[in-house]
Amino acid sequence: MVGVPVLLREVVSCKRVHFVYSCLSLHWLSQVPRGFDTKENVRLNKGNIYISKTSPPLVSKLYLEQFQRDFRSFLNLRSKEICSDGRMVLTFFGRRCSDPADEEHNYVWTPLAKALNEMVLEGIVKASEMDSFNLPYYQPSMEEVKMVTRDEGSFDLMEEQVFDLNWDVANGGNVAGIIRAVSESMLASHFGETIIDELFSRSAAIVAELLLKGKSKYVLCILRMRAIC
């Protein structure tokens, strides 16, 4: 089961499913966090496309609140589909630390933000376009996930695992290609298709520099849950 539109609606008839597996979907939000679309907040995260050290505290708060809404909806909908005592396994990108702005976990998007800011300075991208773009993405901590699970109440958490995995440290282009595969449509829709090749060419060079500095890990979270209602 993948894809946010599928995750946040009921997929099958009530209480007929014995096992659900969601792979690498739950870190994607259903929308850019509520609050960024107001006149006051349209440039709230200026110069960034995700949470960073330069983001105001409100940015992290809005992202967390959107994740909580989405994950609660996901659990509620799955509880209507899974039979009592059915099982669910969730795999998603997360983080180990409590701070969502920690650079160790955000370097995947840092190269894109740096490349876009370079293109703003060179007049290739409009500053207003850069400042108004935010990714519908959130890497939760395990504690944030468990808190929503407890509050929603439809599932028992049976097992949790957190792994540190390595990117391909030898090839920044490969890593940039993976990032392009999941983000190109959003970027093209907002900035236009004409900048995409140049953007990811620059991004690949920045990724390669980060990999050489040893920033090559990402965090994968796995949860095993049991339906209790």
pLDDT (tens digit per residue) in 155-171: 999 999 999 887 765 56
- Other Cβ atoms within 10 Å of 171 Cβ, number: 14
CATH at residue 31: 1.10.1200.270
Report the domain count for the chain. 1
Band of pLDDT at residue 6, cut at 50, 70 and 90:
very low
| CA max distance for the chain | 58
Band of pLDDT at residue 38, cut at 50, 70 and 90:
confident
% residues pLDDT > 90 (the chain): 69
Q: Which residue segment(s) compose the domain that 129 sits in? A: 4-227
pLDDT digits (tens, 9 = 90+) for 67-112: 999 999 999 999 999 998 999 999 999 999 999 998 777 778 989 9
Q: Is 98 exposed, middle or buried (0-12, 13-18, 19+ CB in 10 A)?
A: exposed
What is the C-alpha separation between 116 and 81, in angstroms, rounded? 42
Res 133: pLDDT: 95
**Paired residues of 156 in beta bridges:** 226
Total-model pTM: 0.90
What is the C-alpha separation between 167 and 144, in angstroms, rounded? 25
